Amino acid sequence: MTVKAVIFDLDGTLIDSLADLANAVNRTLASHGYPIRELALFPEFIGDGMRVLVERALPPEARTDEIIDRCALAYAKEYADCWHDQTTPYPGILELLQTLSEQQIKVGVISNKPDAFTRLCCDHFFPSPAFSVVFGQRETVARKPAPDAGIEACRILGLQPSECLYVGDSGVDMRFGNAAGMIPVGVRWGFRSTEELIANGAQHLISTPRDLLPLLGHSKHPSIPKRPLQKGGRFSV
């Protein structure tokens, strides 16, 4: 079966937003009297939604529902002020989206970022060609890795999940793609490790955006070969 749609995660996949996310969290922590966190910690904090991001950044003794809720509200205000200060699309992403449009491949975004911020980022960084569907985290829909948003997106696109690639940078993304019946593709330029992607069910790994293109015409997608680890613990794919 030929791939007819590619649906992407946002942070760590389409855009490098780490610095702005970290700045918003650290401003929130500082304003509430908590120590700020090093940038290197944030790749492990991100991926499960705004509230979980804030919870992970707080000191363990401050992780009560009341404090998390209060800090999450403050974080949303801070992020609204800095969401595009340093964030940029990853190299090659704009070209990939243009190529997919030219090949009449439908394109979408499903993120655990709050829906309003997801749409804001998509409109700002990718004004053309337009995405066919954009979903961030919504109160009425279970967040990834629950398959709900993926099933909804496929219904809107008029496609079977098996006709769609889901492209992301985390284990949550790979579990989501599998749960929704899509073909999960892990990117090696994002926030999480190759090992995490493989352990959570990635069927393909790609090192650059253009590496996605050969996957579009395959009807069946083999498992990632188990190759020896290279230096640094990375798989050679």
Residue 184: Cβ-neighbour burial (10 angstroms; 0-12, 13-18, 19+):
buried
Q: How far is CA 49 from CA 21, 34, 53, 194, in A?
A: 12, 21, 6, 21
Please tell me whether residues 111 and 182 are part of one structural domain: yes
Q: Are residues 147 and 201 in the same domain?
A: yes
Residue 95 pLDDT: 96
Which of 66-75, 156-165, 197-206, 228-237 shows the lowest per-residue confidence on average (mean pLDDT)?
228-237
Q: Which domain holds residue 146?
A: 5-16+87-233
User: Does the structure show a pLDDT above 50 at 54?
Assistant: yes
Q: What is the tally of structural domains in the chain?
A: 2
Given a cut of 60, whether residue 79 has pLDDT beyond it is yes
For residue range 96-131, list pLDDT tens digits in order. Answer: 999 999 999 999 999 999 999 999 999 999 988 889
CA atoms within 13 A of residue 15's CA, in its CB half-sphere: 26
Active-site residues, by number, are 9
Can you give the pLDDT at residue 180? 98
pLDDT of 223 strictly over 60: no
Q: Dump strand ranges (E) for the chain.
A: 5-8, 15-16, 88-89, 106-114, 133-137, 164-168, 183-187, 204-206
Which of 82, 98, 120 is the last residue in one of the domains?
A: 82
Name the nearest CA neighbour of 220 among 2, 51, 40, 57: 2
Choosing from 82, 99, 130, the residue where a domain stops is 82
Same domain? For 95 and 175 the reply is: yes
Q: 122-173 pLDDT, tens per residue?
A: 999 998 888 999 999 999 999 999 999 999 999 999 999 999 999 999 999 9
Q: How far apart are CA 51 and CA 21, in angstroms?
A: 13
**Whether residue 53 is found in the same domain as residue 126:** no
pLDDT at site 217: 82
Give the pLDDT confidence score for residue 218 in this predicted structure. 43
Residues 103 and 121 in one domain: yes
Q: Is the pLDDT of residue 221 over 50?
A: no
Residues 100 and 76 placed together within one structural domain of the fold: no
> Which positions ≥6 away from 86 have C-beta within 8 Å?
19, 20, 23
Confidence of residue 222 (pLDDT cuts 50, 70, 90): very low
**CATH number of the domain bearing residue 158:** 3.40.50.1000
| pLDDT reported for residue 197 | 98
Statement to judge: residues 167 and 129 lie in one domain: yes
CATH of the domain at 70: 1.10.150
27, 126: one domain = no
Residues 6+ apart with CB under 8 A from 96: 209, 210, 212, 213
* Residue 9 shares a structural domain with residue 77: no
User: How sure is the predictor about 1, in pLDDT bands with cuts at 50, 70 and 90?
Assistant: low
CA 31, CA 25: separation in Å to the nearest integer? Answer: 10
Cα of 139 vs its chain's centroid, Å: 18
Domain boundary among 82, 104, 121: 82
Q: Mean pLDDT across the stretch 53-59?
A: 98
State the pLDDT confidence band at 232, using cuts at 50, 70 and 90: very low
Strand partners, 204: 185
Mean pLDDT, range 188-211, rounded to an integer: 97
Residues 219 and 159 in one domain: yes
- Cα separation, 118 vs 134, in Å, equals 8
Do 74 and 91 fall within a single domain? no
Same domain, 37 and 94: no
